[in-house]
Chains A and B, each alone.
Chain A
Amino acid sequence: MSNQDWLDAIGAAYLVAVALLVWGLAGQRRTATARRGNLIVAAGALVAVIATLADRRIVDFAWIIAGTVSGAILGAYLASRVRTGAMPRAVVLLLATGGAASLLLALGELDRGSDEDVPGEVAVPLAIGVLAGAVALAGALVAVRRLRSTGRGAGPPPGHRGIALAGGAAALVLGALVVWSTQDEGFGDASVLAFAGLLAVVGLALGGLMAVSGDDRVLPALVALLTGVAGLAVAADGVALENTAMIVAGGLVAGAAPTLARIMAWAANRALIEVVLGSGGPRPRGAVEDVHPPR
């Protein structure tokens, strides 16, 4: 096959993958077709991953094939062996691993940028991927802990909103530094990864903080919101790597999950912002809670 035929075949494969993803997700809207929809989504993801293997940037297959197989076996083992009552917690744990994957691959790609030139349009999405991946990872891990011990727990630390604000500002500064250090020679070799590492740490702190802020009733909405953040990380990494599959899958998740979060928050009688920042305090029993339904 000529090079162009090859590229066309890959493009066609991505088209099929995207179609399957959307079709599968649409099937999940009703319980009757939900199970089948999940499997169709899985098929779409599989096609996308296989198509990615044809990416010309991949030269060494040994480790990544071994890694894929190992991860798949671990995942299958987890899914089949976890007891039914622990399944919700298991899926939130998988959210953590998903966020970690986005975080690590963004860091890895930034590391390659220490040697070569990384254009700004790659560095910015990678920085977003680092931050969002870290937030999702830490938030999900804390959420798993909270799911195990609901009703107990000390609640958010005092002044947590100030901490969140400071953390957000720090994230912006560090993100800018990451991008800047990929462009400018004056920073030194290790600086990109150093800034990115710091950005990741800030992201972890913000994610953990977000996960302790709300009360127990917002936990489903919190998980949904963190899923959206993880999707954003996947999409951002996809933009950086120009991988259509990641952009579409990440975008679908980042679009769908926050909408679900908003619905879930309303069902729990909380405003969505309370999921992130926490409410003013425990609500008195029997109080009329005036939260408008989402339009």
Chain B
Amino acid sequence: MAGLITSLTILVLALAAGHLLAAGVAPAARGGVLWTAIALCGVALAGGLIVGGAGGSGLGRVLGTAAVVLGALTLVGGVLLTDRALGNRPPEEPGP
């Protein structure tokens, strides 16, 4: 239970930090923050490493490995796409 409290404390602090950082973003930079945030969801890769690399065989490991592939895709692809966009010009917010 103590571990859970610690985890939740860290989560609350991260949420607050995220909110505060986002609230102060210059309008032209908003797209970039969003694109990087999308790339950051690829950190699920770390969880996939744990689930996919655990002992035993079976569905859990297959799913974990799939999560690893998708997470790495998201993280690497997202970071590189954002870098490319920021290199051209301020990235457009995904829109029509």
Does A231 count as interface, using CB distance less than 8 angstroms?
yes
Given the interface contacts A101-B45, A248-B14, does A45 sit within 8 Å of B80 by beta carbon? no
CB pair B59 A52 closer than 8 Å: no
Closest approach, in angstroms, between the C-beta of A222 and any C-beta of chain B? 9
Nearest B-chain residue to A90, judged by Cβ: B81
Contact string, A71-87, partner B, CB cutoff 8 A, digits 1/0?
11011101110101001
Contact string, B8-43, partner A, CB cutoff 8 A, digits 1/0?
101111111111111111101110111111111111
Nearest B-chain residue to A264, judged by Cβ: B93
Closest approach, in angstroms, between the C-beta of B68 and any C-beta of chain A? 4
Q: Is the interface of B mostly helix, strand, loop or mixed?
A: helix
User: At the interface with chain B, which of A103-111, A154-162, A204-212?
Assistant: A103-111
Closest approach, in angstroms, between the C-beta of A113 and any C-beta of chain B? 9
Contacts of B87 in A (CB 8 A): 35
Closest approach, in angstroms, between the C-beta of A97 and any C-beta of chain B? 5
Contact string, A24-50, partner B, CB cutoff 8 A, digits 1/0?
111011110011011101100100110
User: At the interface with chain B, which of A60-68, A164-172, A178-186, A283-291?
Assistant: A60-68
Contact among A61, A79, A82, A239 with B7 in the assembled complex (CB-CB below 8 Å): A239
Closest approach, in angstroms, between the C-beta of A72 and any C-beta of chain B? 4
* A273–B56 alpha-carbon span in the complex (Å): 45
Closest approach, in angstroms, between the C-beta of B90 and any C-beta of chain A? 6
Query: Using a Cβ–Cβ cut-off of 8 Å, how many residues does chain B contribute to the interface with A?
Result: 88
Given the interface contacts A79-B84, A91-B94, A101-B74, does A255 sit within 8 Å of B14 by beta carbon? yes
* A257–B15 alpha-carbon span in the complex (Å): 10
Nearest A-chain residue to B5, judged by Cβ: A121
CB pair B76 A147 closer than 8 Å: no
Given the interface contacts A71-B69, A75-B77, A105-B51, does A95 sit within 8 Å of B41 by beta carbon? yes
Closest approach, in angstroms, between the C-beta of B66 and any C-beta of chain A? 5
Does A112 count as interface, using CB distance less than 8 angstroms?
yes
Given the interface contacts A98-B70, A231-B41, does A79 sit within 8 Å of B14 by beta carbon? no
Does A254 count as interface, using CB distance less than 8 angstroms?
yes
Q: Which residues of A contact B (CB under 8 A)?
A: 21-22, 24-26, 28-31, 34-35, 37-39, 41-42, 45, 48-49, 52-53, 55, 57-61, 63-64, 67-72, 74-76, 78-80, 82, 84, 87-92, 94-95, 97-102, 104-105, 107-109, 111-112, 115, 121, 136, 143, 147, 150-151, 193, 216-217, 219-220, 223-224, 227, 230-231, 233-235, 237-239, 241-260, 263-264
Which are the 6 A-B pairs with shortest beta-carbon distances?
A255-B18, A251-B14, A71-B72, A75-B77, A108-B63, A98-B41
